[in-house]
Amino acid sequence: MPLVKGGKIQADEYVHIADDAALPESGAVLVSAARFLADPELVLQRREKVGVIWPNNRDVEDLVPYVERLALIALVFPSFRDGRAYSQARLLRERYFFRGELRATGQVLRDQFVFMLRAGFDAFDVKKQADAEAYTQTVKRYSVFYQPTGDGRVAAPFRRLQLRHSESAGL
C-alpha cells in the first residue's frame, strides 16, 4: 500500500513490529496499541521515533500521557463506512494537541482524503495505487468549507463576515 505524506508518495520509514517480535536495535517502529500499553515506557525510551496503531473502538484519551513523545499515531478505518477514526483524529489534534504524524490506515480511498485532511490526518496508507497518484488533484476538489475544524482552513461563516467587513470598510 502506497504511503502518501507531505502531499506525495513516499517510502515508509516506520517498521511495523509484530507483537511477539523483538524490537530492533535502531530505526523508527510502529507497534500495536496492546504492545504499547503493556509497557509504554519500555517502547518510548528508544532514541528513535515510535508510532502506535490505535484501534477505532478505544478512547484516545488513554494516549494523552504520551502524545508529546509519540512521533506517529495510526488510526484505523476497517471499512469505508466506519467513521469513528474521524472523531479520534479531531480529538487528538484539537483537544490533546498531538503534533506528530497522524496516519489513516485501512480502507483509505481518494474519496475520503478531504474529510481526513480536515479531521487532522496528514499521512495516508492508501489502498489503491491509482488513488495515491490522484492525491494532489483530489485534495483540490473543495475550496470552501462550512465547518470550522482544527485544520486551520477558514470556514464559511467566518469568511462571510470577513468579506462583509472588508466591503463595509471600502476595501
Partner 1 sequence: MYAYDEIDRTLINERVSEFRDQVKRRLSGELTEDEFKMLRLQNGVYLQLHAYMFRVAIPYGTLSSKQLRRLAHVARRYDRGYGHFTTRQNIQFNWIKLAELPDALADLAEVGIHAMQTSGNNTRNVTSDQWAGVVPGEIEDPRIWSEVLRQYTTLHPEFSFLPRKFKFAITAHPHDRAAIKIHDIGLRLHKNEQGETGFEVMVGGGLGRTPFIAKTIRPFVHGRDLLSYVEAIMRVYNSYGRRDNIYKARIKILVHELGVEKFAQEVEEEWQQIRDGSLRLDDETIEDIRSRFSYPTYEKLPHMPDELRKAAHDPLFERWRRNAVFPHKATGYAIVTISLKPVGGPPGDATADQMDALADLADKYSFGEIRVGHEQNLALPHVARRDLPALWKALETIGLATPNVNLVSDIIACPGLDYCSLANARSIPIAQELTRRFANHDTANLIGRLHINISGCINACGHHHVGHIGILGVEKNGEEFYQITIGGRADEKAELGVLIGPAVPYNDVADVIEDIVEAYLALRANPDELFVDTVKRLGVEPFRERVYATR
Residues at the interface with partner 1 (CB under 8 A): 80-84, 86-88, 90, 95, 109, 111, 114-116, 118-119, 130, 141-149, 155-157, 159-161, 164
C-alpha grid cell for residue 74? 495510526
What minimum distance in Å lies between the beta carbon of 87 and partner 1?
5
What minimum distance in Å lies between the beta carbon of 12 and partner 1?
25
Closest to partner 1 by CB, 17 or 138: 138
Question: CA separation (Å) from 39 to 52, 54, 145?
Answer: 13, 15, 41
C-alpha grid cell for residue 163? 468579506
Are 119 and 141 contacting, i.e. CB atoms less than 8 angstroms apart? no
Question: CA separation (Å) from 144 to 94, 111, 138, 147?
Answer: 20, 17, 14, 9
Closest to partner 1 by CB, 95 or 99: 95
What minimum distance in Å lies between the beta carbon of 118 and partner 1?
3
Closest to partner 1 by CB, 42 or 130: 130
Closest to partner 1 by CB, 22 or 144: 144
- Report the distance separating Cα 166 and Cα 171, nearest Å: 5
